[in-house]
Amino acid sequence: MTSSDAEIRLLNDARAWAAQDPDPVTSTSLLELIRLVENGVPAARQELEDSFRGTLQFGTAGLRAALGPGPNRMNRVVVRRAAAGLADFLLSSVGESSPGTRPRAVVGYDARHNSDIFAEETAAIFTAAGIETFLMPAALPTPLLAFAVRALECDGGVMVTASHNPPRDNGYKVYLGRHAMPENGNGAQIVAPYDATIAARINAVGPLDSIALAPSGWTVLDGSLAADYERSTAALAMPGEFPARDLSIVLTPLHGVGGGTALAVLNAAGFKDITLVAEQAEPDPDFPTVSFPNPEEPGALDLALESAERLGADIVIANDPDADRAAVAAKDPDTGAWRMLRGDEVGALLGAHVAARIAVGKGKDDGAEEGAQGVFANSIVSSRLLARIATAAGYAHQETLTGFKWISRVPGLVYGYEEALGYCVAPDLVRDKDGISAALLIAELAAAAKADGKTVFDTLDELYLQHGLHASDQLSIRVADLGLLDAMMNRLRVSPPETFGSSAVEVYTDLAEGSGQLPPTDGLLYVTRDLTRVIIRPSGTEPKLKCYLEVIQHVGSAAELPAARQSARAALDEVLRGVSEALGL
* 270 backbone φψ class: left, alpha, beta (φ>0; ψ -120 to 50): left
Q: At what angle do helices 435-451 and 456-467 cross, to 10 degrees?
A: 90
Catalytic residue at 163?
yes
Q: What is the spatial distance between Cα 237 and Cα 267, in angstroms, rounded to a whole number?
A: 11
Q: What is the spatial distance between Cα 353 and Cα 347, in angstroms, rounded to a whole number?
A: 10
Q: Which residues contact 200 (CB under 8 A, 6 or more apart)?
A: none
Please report which residue ranges of 360-472 form alpha helices under DSSP H: 385-392, 404-407, 435-451, 456-467
| Distance (Å) of CA 26 to CA 13, 33, 73, 576 | 15, 10, 11, 45
Q: What is the spatial distance between Cα 335 and Cα 330, in angstroms, rounded to a whole number?
A: 11
Q: What is the spatial distance between Cα 64 and Cα 54, in angstroms, rounded to a whole number?
A: 14
CB-CB contact of 228 with 294 (8 Å): no
- Angle (CA) 513-61-400 rounded to 5° is 40
Q: What is the spatial distance between Cα 378 and Cα 398, in angstroms, rounded to a whole number?
A: 7
| CA-based nearest residue to 459, from 299, 346, 542 | 346
SS3 of the chain: helix, strand, coil, percent, to 5: 40, 20, 40
CB-CB contact of 379 with 333 (8 Å): no
* Active-site option among 115, 163, 382, 383: 163
Please report which residue ranges of 409-535 form alpha helices under DSSP H: 435-451, 456-467, 483-494
**CA 186 from chain center: how many Å?**
18
Going across the sheet that includes 249-252, the strands are 274-276, 249-252, 315-319, 326-331, 338-340
Task: Using the Cα atoms of residue 384, residue 390, residue 394 and residue 395 in order, give the sign of their dihedral.
Answer: negative
The dihedral over CA atoms of 431, 436, 438, 443, expressed in degrees to the nearest 10, equals -160
- Angle (CA) 509-385-358 rounded to 5° is 130
Q: What is the spatial distance between Cα 149 and Cα 456, in angstroms, rounded to a whole number?
A: 34
| CA-based nearest residue to 379, from 257, 249, 256, 472 | 472
Please list the active-site residues: 163
